[in-house]
Structure 1
Amino acid sequence: MNVEKTPLEGVLILEPRVFGDDRGWFYESFNVARFNEIVGKEVSFVQDNHSCSGRGVLRGIHFQTAGAAQGKLVRATAGEIFDIAVDLRKSSQTFGHWTGALLSAENKRQLWVPAGFGHAFLVTSEMAEVQYKVDDYWSPDHERSLRWDDPSVGIAWPDVGEIQLSDKDRVAPDLNLLNAQGDVFE
């Protein structure tokens, strides 16, 4: 497995070794021992999530606050997405910075987004299925969203035409308000 570091410490792009021949292809999408070695700690995933969305759907920027913060291992198993992470750790030199990667069924790349980061994706193909593992359960009391187009974060989203958002994501606060409310990480 090829591991690519990003400008945000702890956020990693994982690219598996794919074995192909005239019958098709095979690859190991997850190995707990290898993954824990890569991230440098023991991670126990407790839930797998699977979504299907059309072109222009943007899900996020989501995170859960301390006490139920989630790490996520994300991949696209059909289609293509632009997947991003935003550093929400006030003590970090990269607080408010973002990084992103194209994940697709074709490139089979995965993005590891540790706790302390916001996460979102934008569907860039006609349709995409996204699967991700999380290391803590969904907690509505801890669930928060960051505004997808917050100018202080400045995410360079690909142009896919009209963006489709949930009602919750459409009214998400910006980073300054989240920080003032104490909803970011120390």
Structure 2
Amino acid sequence: MTANVRASAPTGGWHAELTAHRDSRGEFVEWYRASRFTAETDVPFTVAQANMSISKRGVIRGVHYFADGSGQAKYVTCAHGEVLDVAVDLRIGSPTFGRWTVTPMSQDRPSAAYLPVGFGHAFVACSDRAVMLYLCDREYVPGAELTVHPLDADLALPWPTELPRILSERDDSAPTLREVRERGLLPRF
């Protein structure tokens, strides 16, 4: 998998390495503890919805975000397989607007990431099968989620070149970051 790449990490995101407790039965990973998260970020996080996605090798999901007050903060981890997880600061007026961070996540190297409201989220499945788990602070509002094209040349996300690139029709027809900014479809800092 590609090494941990960070392009001037966005302000407000958070990443933690997790501990896997392994024995002859398998392993156990505590992937979220409210007291630890709040102590390290000073952000209260209430879980309102939990999601799971299962993707095959080369699937790119995202860059998904919300432009209005219906946005979700997300806490994510890879429960099975391996992915490159991407957080992009899409908040107009943020000192780190347009910057991204890419974090390898896998069942073998457990970690978790927090993406505040206004961040775009994406990932690519690097294994034959990857399972991502999401905790969200708000319930999903149908029709409110927007997307930036994950292969936008100006955004220049470092997707692995050795993988196929499989996109949903929605993500493949998504506008670029420049286009959503010109249309006034980005959140404010």
Structure 1 length-normalised TM: 0.91
Equivalences for 1:131-142 in 2 at 5 Å?
131-142=133-144
**Deviations along 1:137-182, whole A, 9 cap, x unmatched?**
1112321000111122111111243211111001001111111221
Q: 1:163 is matched with which residue? A: 165
Q: 1:40 is matched with which residue? A: 42
Q: 1:151 is matched with which residue? A: 153
Tell which deviates more after alignment, 33-42 or 48-57: 33-42
Contact 1:124-1:160 within 8 A present in 2 as well: no
Q: Distance between the aligned counterparts of 1:23 and 1:149, measured in 2? A: 41
Over 3 Å counting, the alpha-carbon distance change for 1:161 and 1:21 in structure 2 is closer
**Deviations along 1:119-146, whole A, 9 cap, x unmatched?**
0010001111111111111112321000
Q: By how many angstroms is 1:17 displaced?
A: 2.7
Q: Distance between the aligned counterparts of 2:82 and 2:19, measured in 1? A: 19
Equivalent AA in structure 2 for residue 58 of structure 1: I
Aligned with residue 128 of structure 1, among 118, 127, 130: 130
Q: By how many angstroms is 1:22 displaced?
A: 4.4
Q: 2:64 is matched with which residue? A: 62
Q: By how many angstroms is 1:23 displaced?
A: 4.6
Q: Number of residue pairs matched?
A: 182
Aligned with residue 79 of structure 1, among 74, 78, 81: 81
Aligned with residue 90 of structure 1, among 92, 96, 116: 92
Q: Distance between the aligned counterparts of 2:125 and 2:135, measured in 1? A: 19
Q: 1:113 is matched with which residue? A: 115
Q: Distance between the aligned counterparts of 1:112 and 1:129, measured in 2? A: 17
Could you say which structure has the greater relative contact order, defined with CA pairs below 8 angstroms and 6 or more residues apart?
A: 2
User: How large is the Cα RMSD of the aligned pairs?
Assistant: 1.7
SS in 2 for 1:119: strand
In structure 1, runs of 5+ residues without a counterpart are none
Structure 2 length-normalised TM: 0.90
**Identity of aligned pairs, percent?**
34
Tell which deviates more after alignment, 156-165 or 15-24: 15-24
Q: 1:101 is matched with which residue? A: 103
